[in-house]
A and B are shown apart, each in its own frame.
Chain A
Amino acid sequence: QTVVTQEPSFSVSPGGTVTLTCGLSSGSVSTNYYPTWYQQTAGQAPRTLIYSTDTRSSGVPDRFSGSILGNKAALTITGAQADDESDYYCVLYMGSGIWVFGGGTKLTVL
């Protein structure tokens, strides 16, 4: 069974730039997997940031961007702010009506 991989944790300085990645235990992520990125603050519902690799969801600031970097999907946050401190999840569409989430990345801004 294919596992979607994410860094368990990451830290960034306020105002800095960070890139989180989303990979596969076997194979490469491409746009065909429709990578989607969610932000989740403790106790809250997920918030959609990016879908279809690089399309920002409504109301999401352009500090958040999505891309394919090498063999992984990537979420880049530029000009990190304190309230960016959250858990970030990617989800990939595996085909045949199946979506698989990564384990999430806990981002610390300090």
Chain B
Amino acid sequence: EVQLVESGGGLVQPGGSLRLSCAASGFTFNSYAMTWVRQAPGKGLEWVSAISGSGGTTYYADSVKGRFTISRDNSKNTLYLQMSSLRAEDTAVYYCGSGNFGTKKFDYWGQGTLVTVSS
């Protein structure tokens, strides 16, 4: 059974940093692309970033480019999102997802971790 478990969320001050993790199990982690998607309170889903199975290719939404870094450790079956220069508008539940760049789909999702940016 595919399982994705996010962690690392919490309260951080504007301008601060936070690193999210997503522990994966139940599939061959390094064979799958991974993504981060977020959802601000009461709002819709927003795609944030994606990374290839090898980690060699990364993509970012304009809203986070230059501030967020996606990475993965295939030896630990773990995906990361390093977030810096955080803003109030980054407040959201962050979901990690697994998928396939070929079909452009991400089909398994974790339960999310809440990031709150506030002073």
Same complex for A and B? Answer yes
Interface set of A (CB-CB < 8 Å, partner B): 34, 36, 38, 40, 44-48, 51-52, 55, 57-58, 87, 89, 91, 93, 96-104
Instruction: Evaluate contact between B61 and A51: CB separation under 8 angstroms.
Output: no
- SS class, residues of chain B in contact with chain A: strand
How many pairs of residues, A versus B, come closer than 8 Å at their CB atoms? 62
Stretch at the interface among B10-18, B20-28, B43-51, B80-88: B43-51
* With A48-B108, A99-B47, A104-B45 already in contact, 6 other A-B pairs whose C-beta atoms are closer than 8 Å: A36-B106, A45-B111, A51-B107, A96-B59, A98-B59, A102-B44
CB distance from B99 to the nearest CB of A (A): 9
Interface size class of B (residues with CB under 8 A): 20 to 34
Instruction: Evaluate contact between B104 and A36: CB separation under 8 angstroms.
Output: yes
Please name all residues of chain B whose beta carbon is closer than 8 Å to the beta carbon of A100 when the two chains form the complex.
Answer: 47
Please name all residues of chain B whose beta carbon is closer than 8 Å to the beta carbon of A89 when the two chains form the complex.
Answer: 44-45
Is there a chain A Cβ closer than 8 Å to B55's Cβ? Answer: no
- SS class, residues of chain A in contact with chain B: strand
Q: Interface readout for B36-68 with A: 1 if CB under 8 Å, 0 if not? A: 010000001111001000000101010000000
Is there a chain A Cβ closer than 8 Å to B9's Cβ? Answer: no
Please name all residues of chain A whose beta carbon is closer than 8 Å to the beta carbon of B45 when the two chains form the complex.
Answer: 38, 40, 46, 89, 91, 101, 104
Please name all residues of chain B whose beta carbon is closer than 8 Å to the beta carbon of A91 when the two chains form the complex.
Answer: 45, 47
Instruction: Evaluate contact between A51 and B103: CB separation under 8 angstroms.
Output: yes
CB distance from B8 to the nearest CB of A (A): 17
Please name all residues of chain B whose beta carbon is closer than 8 Å to the beta carbon of A101 when the two chains form the complex.
Answer: 37, 44-47
Please name all residues of chain B whose beta carbon is closer than 8 Å to the beta carbon of A57 when the two chains form the complex.
Answer: 107
